[in-house]
Chains A and B, each alone.
Chain A
């Protein structure tokens, strides 16, 4: 200890680097720079078009200072109600379906074949983007909120099951063991040993997912799956930036409100 200290005395102190191994540091740095140059070079930017567009962009920014809530009020209201309906129904169904899947995807509860099957469902649901699922479901079930509802429910399953299963895997074994020692059947064991431990997390996740589902429902309309997205898309296509700004402001307000509410509920639960 003192030998290394002696060797260091008189030398200038230098900040320790984030990545300890020098060769890895340099490879990452040089690789990053080379990639950056290649990527920028392969990106074609039509600057004159961008310059022309800046004017329109500025108009859009101005539209935010003067949003038009009134002239399309009926369309906006209908779209919002449809989005909310899709989000609520999908959250409820998503939770109901994700609870058994989460139990199956927790290694300390499910046997291996069930575990692998449920993890497969979770991986599939998480890997596919909502929009892609929505496109397929619209092709199969036709236009309208049903396709959006099913998309959101499917996406909720992956999200909820994964996080809930992780929480179940972290549970306090002694409590579950105590319930089992009283001679409880499997269902009683889940209901009294496991459920009370994961309930706060489940409620927090549900609120969070409701928030996400509402946000996502705003884009599903772009592919014909109902909701406020359809109204927004129409507004953009007609260059009615003031209406589009109004819709975006409403979405931001609702998301902020939901986030605030879910913060309060989650704070109370824990």
Chain B
């Protein structure tokens, strides 16, 4: 620890006093113990023979997975289109639902801060904290497997995310503009349309594209639980141990994700 000691050995300056130092050591000790305990639990639940064997298995799978089976690409275009649709339509419907929720949740536009705002916040939190794969699992059980279930899962999952970012944008608007519109004698809806909406429009476009990018990523795996898209082919290939097809699908997913990230970065750059 940094300290300055005088010629006769007495301390002149120290970064922290004794108490702060002890608290820090205590915190580090507790943190380390927690981590060691976690590691010990993981280790106890692990079959270490498989882990020592892992390099051989990985090399074996790698050997089988190369080269990718390019001819399988013919069968991937349709699932890829489905994946794109799941992500795009899911984002679209999520935004339609997120806008009213955001207006109800923002402190300056909510009709009632006591009753309606907590309800809107509850919708935001509960849709946000559950992963889209779990929503998909649930929706496949309810409305049957297919693209539709995937789209609804993505839409529900995105409501919370979009509404949260949007209501934060609404709370940060410039009140002077709203006041100016109100001063012209505008009604509540006119104030919204001319005072609030133009201010949050750039944030809205940014959020939409950002979420679309995330949704492309998420929709590639929804097929694993039967909710359509390219994940369905991935599951099929994995279950039949067709590793060359798995490699090709992973390459396609990787490319799609990079492409969507590029598009989203471009659009956000143009908007903001």
Are B45 and A82 touching (Cβ within 8 A)? Answer: yes
Tell whether A219 pairs with B131 under 8 Å between CB atoms, given A60-B142, A131-B221: yes
Nearest chain A CB to B224 CB, angstrom units: 6
A26 within 8 A of B: no
B57 within 8 A of A: yes
What chain B residues lie within 8 Å of A142 (beta carbons)? 46-47, 50-51
Interface size of A by Cβ–Cβ distance < 8 Å?
58
Are B45 and A226 touching (Cβ within 8 A)? Answer: yes
A111 within 8 A of B: no
Are A88 and B81 touching (Cβ within 8 A)? Answer: no
Find A141's partner among B50, B142, B151, B225 (CB 8 Å cutoff).
Answer: B50
Are B126 and A50 touching (Cβ within 8 A)? Answer: no
Are A89 and B131 touching (Cβ within 8 A)? Answer: no
Are A218 and B125 touching (Cβ within 8 A)? Answer: no
B147 within 8 A of A: yes
What chain A residues lie within 8 Å of B12 (beta carbons)? none
Tell whether A146 pairs with B45 under 8 Å between CB atoms, given A141-B50, A216-B131, A239-B141: yes
B137 within 8 A of A: yes
Chain A residues within CB distance 8 Å of chain B: 15, 18, 35-36, 39-40, 42-46, 49-50, 53-54, 56-57, 60, 81-82, 85-86, 88-89, 92, 123, 127-129, 131-132, 135, 139-142, 144-146, 149, 215-216, 218-219, 222-223, 226, 229, 232-233, 236, 239, 244, 248, 251-252, 255-256
B245 within 8 A of A: no
Chain B residues within CB distance 8 Å of chain A: 31, 34-35, 38-39, 41-43, 45-47, 50-51, 54, 57-58, 61, 81-82, 84-85, 88-89, 92, 125-126, 129-131, 133-134, 137-138, 141-144, 146-148, 151, 194, 198, 201-202, 205, 217-218, 220-221, 224-225, 234, 238, 250, 253-254, 257-258, 261
What chain B residues lie within 8 Å of A144 (beta carbons)? 45-47
Q: Complex: how many Å from CA A244 to CA B135?
A: 12
Are A43 and B148 touching (Cβ within 8 A)? Answer: yes
What chain A residues lie within 8 Å of B261 (beta carbons)? 127
Are A18 and B201 touching (Cβ within 8 A)? Answer: yes
User: What are 27 pairs between A and B in contact, CB < 8 Å?
Assistant: A15-B194, A35-B88, A39-B88, A39-B89, A43-B85, A43-B147, A50-B144, A54-B142, A54-B143, A56-B141, A57-B142, A85-B42, A127-B254, A139-B57, A140-B54, A140-B57, A142-B50, A144-B45, A145-B41, A215-B129, A215-B131, A226-B45, A236-B137, A248-B134, A252-B129, A255-B129, A256-B125
What chain B residues lie within 8 Å of A218 (beta carbons)? 130-131, 134
Q: Complex: how many Å from CA A26 to CA B217?
A: 29
Are A42 and B134 touching (Cβ within 8 A)? Answer: no
Nearest chain B CB to A63 CB, angstrom units: 11
Tell whether A60 pairs with B50 under 8 Å between CB atoms, given A42-B81, A89-B35: no
Across the A-B interface, the 7 shortest Cβ-Cβ residue pairs: A142-B50, A255-B129, A57-B142, A89-B38, A53-B143, A39-B85, A49-B144
Nearest chain B CB to A61 CB, angstrom units: 10
What chain B residues lie within 8 Å of A128 (beta carbons)? 250, 253-254
Are B133 and A131 touching (Cβ within 8 A)? Answer: yes
Nearest chain A CB to B166 CB, angstrom units: 16
What chain B residues lie within 8 Å of A215 (beta carbons)? 129, 131
Q: Complex: how many Å from CA A39 to CA B39?
A: 47
Nearest chain B CB to A32 CB, angstrom units: 9
Find A222's partner among B57, B129, B137, B141 (CB 8 Å cutoff).
Answer: B137
Q: Besides A40-B89, A57-B142, A140-B58, 12 other CB < 8 A contacts? A: A39-B89, A46-B146, A49-B144, A53-B143, A54-B143, A131-B133, A140-B61, A141-B51, A141-B54, A145-B42, A232-B134, A255-B129
Tell whether A222 pairs with B58 under 8 Å between CB atoms, given A42-B82, A132-B250, A149-B42: no
Nearest chain A CB to B172 CB, angstrom units: 17
Tell whether A46 pairs with B144 under 8 Å between CB atoms, given A144-B46, A146-B45, A218-B134: yes
Nearest chain B CB to A236 CB, angstrom units: 6
Are A146 and B46 touching (Cβ within 8 A)? Answer: yes
What chain A residues lie within 8 Å of B254 (beta carbons)? 127-128
What chain A residues lie within 8 Å of B54 (beta carbons)? 140-141
Nearest chain A CB to B209 CB, angstrom units: 12
- Closest-by-CB residue of A relative to B50 is A142
Find B141's partner among A139, A236, A251 (CB 8 Å cutoff).
Answer: A236
What chain A residues lie within 8 Å of B198 (beta carbons)? 15
